[in-house]
Amino acid sequence: MELQEIVKKLNLKILSGEGNLNKEVTKGYLSDILSDAMSNALKGSIWVTNQTHENVIAIVFFKSLAGVILPDNLEPESSALEKARGKNIPVFKSDQSAFDIAGQLFDLGLRGR
């Protein structure tokens, strides 16, 4: 499933990475522990996290994740958003909880590892 389909179906607000919405999303991942995401998130995953700092963007980049969704209308720190825009990394926000987002991703057919 392409990112643009997920954006539309979950009504996500695009904060960066508009040029990469054709990326294929293969899995879902939910964690707020950065070392956990570094160890366990798989390439092509969409990551749902409450973390909003630059290290999130670094993980998305180095792990080749499809993008990241911030729940509960969280905003990334300005330095994180600047880095994401510089690397064209898809970052989204939602007014829904992480739990609800994960459930919707599951309903769309995405699974974890």
CB 23 within 8 A of CB 48: no
Per-residue pLDDT of the chain in tens (113 residues, 90 and over written 9): 999 999 999 999 999 999 999 999 999 999 999 999 999 999 999 999 999 999 999 999 999 999 999 999 999 999 999 999 999 999 999 999 999 999 999 999 999 87
Q: Which two tokens stand for residue 101?
A: 């987002």
Predicted pLDDT of residue 113: 78
The verdict on pTM exceeding 0.85 is yes
Predicted pLDDT of residue 19: 93
Predicted pLDDT of residue 107: 97
**Domains of the chain, start order:** 3-107 (3.40.1390.20)
Name the nearest CA neighbour of 84 among 109, 54, 41, 45.
54
- How buried is 4 (Cβ within 10 angstroms: 0-12 exposed, 13-18 middle, 19+ buried)? middle
Predicted pLDDT of residue 2: 96
3-state secondary structure of 46: strand
